[in-house]
Amino acid sequence: MRSSVLLSVIFVGFGAATPLQQSRRYVVKETHRVPWDFVRQGDAPGDHRIRLQVGLKQDRFDELERHLYETSDPDDVRYGQHLTASEVNELVKPSDKSLRLVREWLYEHVDPEDITYSPASDFLSITLPISKVERLLETKYSVYRHTDGSTIVRTPEWKLPLHLHDHITAVQPTTSFIRTVPQSSMFLGSAGKKVQAKAHRRAGNGTVSKVCDADNVTPLCLRTLYETVNYVPQVPGENQIGLANYLGETNNRSDARIFLQNYRPEATAGADAYSIVSIANGTLQQTPNGPGEYFGMEGSLDVQTLLGISWPTPILSYSTGGEPPEIPDVDHPIVDNEPYLTWVNYVLEQDFVPQVISNSYEDNEQTVPLSYARVVCSQFAALSARGVSIIFGSGDGGVSGVQPGGSCLSNVNNQTQFIPLFPSSCPYITSVGGTFGFGPEVVAYHPENKYSSGGGFSNYFPRPKYQDAAVSGYLETIGDEFKGLYNCSGRAYPDIAAHSINYTIIWNGTMILGHGTSAATPTISAIISLLNDALIADGRAPLGFLNPWLYKRGKKAFVDVTSGSAIGCNTTGFPAVKGWDAVSGFGTPRFSKLLKAVGLSEDVSRPHVQQ
């Protein structure tokens, strides 16, 4: 290492015209147009400190991707042979040359001791005042105000010395105007409403029509509908579920306790058993909200749904920080708010990672700079390669973005477009749409708050091979109806779906109803986790990255959803059809069929479900 540094120094010594010196010239590395709904307010405060993350080119990513696809393809001899953390690190580490050049550059500006490295050295982090970052990236940060009044510090463009362009993949926070949204922003009514007593009905022998009340959906209903009601987890502890919280969300134990007492009494101890981890100063608040505060609704929906279905499988809940607690203004704008990279880099550093991780958050893909989306998505590939099923909700705005009523304007040309979401658009995760109804199950649409199950096609990530047959069939079926409004060559989502309206939740001590793909996401996560439990108990590997298996074999275990559509942008949006579609994927799961699809006896799941 030392001698190669010396070599390049000698090389520089040749004179002014050497290629290396010329390449010290700064050249624009990335430009990302400021979204229409942000207006520049002024210069960013130069002394505001930010944690800069520098992503280095992962030298053997193609190889990592090959390993991922081989170990998750049920027809491959390596199926289920998930990689270890050190095997993954070996594949994602940057070349010696990349690391050397990037360090040489950083050392000119910062103290080497202030730099922290990810285990594979593919990410370097350093906390610096904005004025210093501006020199490092030859840029100028500004404060931008969103139409909702919140403010954020970003820059539309940054530069790097030319000789580093091929070695650095992303630097954040720079251009990402993302506004991560929990996919359950819709909670209706009912604070103060009495908890419904019907919940105490005995589990196990009811039919869906007896145990399901469309106005108050409970764990017993979901467990009966999806046939996990008689399954008793065999290896809890060996098998775990992860739950990601961002944006100040937490999982309140006392609310979870009330929920379980009412809706799954035998699981009540679960409310005090889940582990909580704070990442980047993420809040673990368990105290009551102040007046007018509404933290923890998403967190309650997520943890209660998981506990209600998968108990006693242990839950590991992550709360990732990044947003200051006060209302941001021009003097205290949001700087971080980039939850995924911080979270996934933390998780990749751990020796143990739960086999399924539930994430109920999304952003409009166009607000995420391409470099950031690529870096985060490749980190998801690294996590998937370790045998983790990463589950995301497909969004609540139909084809119009993270929430209903989006403007449907492209950030590229200001034309009307369907707005795809990230991370659902990343091909290495599984995206979950929402349904309602119990027979038949149809695509979710909520007439009051306009929640509509999300679906679409990425503009950033091309369609992965595993979806080719399913998606080309769908495109033929829908024909030209929405031509020009979406990118038919992109990764299409969702992959599967689950019920998503009128989840009965306890929040702040009272019952509320939760809706959205945020509800479907922990439901699917819990069911996949129970399937992993059965596999592990049988001496087999957990499923890991689901999609190659889903699109080949797993799809048979899902009930096709064939009516409803991803309403949005003043259109009916992508329709559900027979087979895979871009609003419900392959449909909703049935546990007996899942067991059969992985070659296990289906008996455990449904002795009495259909009467």
Ligand X SMILES: *[C@@H]1O[C@H](CO)[C@@H](O)[C@H](O)[C@H]1NC(C)=O
CB nearer to ligand X: pick between 41 and 510? 510
What's the CA gap between 271 and 538, in Å, rounded? 28
Is residue 586 within 8 Å of 553, Cβ to Cβ? no
Query: Which residue ranges make up the annotated binding site?
Result: 560-561, 579, 581
Active site residue 227: no
Residue nearest to ligand X (CB): 204
SS (H, E, C) 577-590: CCCCECCCECCEEC
Q: Which residues bind ligand X (CB under 6 A)?
A: 36, 191, 202-205, 214-215, 252, 254-255, 281, 286, 288-289, 291, 294, 296, 325, 407-409, 414, 416, 436, 459, 461-462, 487, 489-490, 501-502, 507-509, 513, 569-570, 608
Q: Specify the 3-state DSSP secondary structure of 497.
A: strand
Q: What is the DSSP string of 290-330?
A: PTT--TTHHHHHHHHHHHHHHTTS-EEEEEE--S-SSPP-S
Give the span between the Cα atoms of 560 and 497, in whole angstroms: 10
Q: In degrees rounded to 5, what are phi and psi of residue 199? A: -55, -25
Q: Which is nearer to ligand X, 220 or 388 (CB)?
A: 220
- Has 302 been annotated as catalytic? yes
Q: Which amino acid is at 55?
A: G
**Would you say 31 and 156 are in contact if contact means Cβ atoms under 8 Å apart?**
yes
What are the Cα distances from residue 400, in Å, to 39, 128, 420, 432, 573? 22, 37, 8, 17, 9
For residue 134, indicate whether it is catalytic.
Answer: no
Q: Which of 450, 92, 509 is nearest to 300 (CA)?
A: 509
Q: Which residues are annotated as a binding site for Ca(2+)?
A: 560-561, 579, 581
Q: Which run of H or E residues covers position 132? A: helix 130-136
130 near 48, Cβ under 8 Å? yes
Question: Minimal distance in Å, beta carbon 570 to ligand X?
Answer: 4
How far is Cα 384 from Cα 435, in angstroms, rounded to an integer? Answer: 26
Separation of CA 378 from chain center: 13
Q: What is the CA radius of gyration of the chain?
A: 24
Structure tokens at 608: 């009495």
Q: Who's near 229: CB < 8 A, 6+ residues apart?
A: 203, 204, 220, 223, 609
CA distances from 25 to 61, 167, 597 (A): 28, 15, 57
CB closer to ligand X out of 409 and 534:
409
80 conformational bin, left if phi > 0, alpha if psi -120 to 50, beta if neither = left
CB contact set of 42 (below 8 Å; sequence gap of 6+) = 142, 143, 330
Helices 370-385 and 339-349: crossing angle in degrees, nearest 10, is 30
DSSP label at residue 467:
G
Please report which helix (H) or strand (E) contains residue 529, including its range: helix 517-537
Instruction: Tell me which residues are annotated as active site.
Output: 298, 302, 518
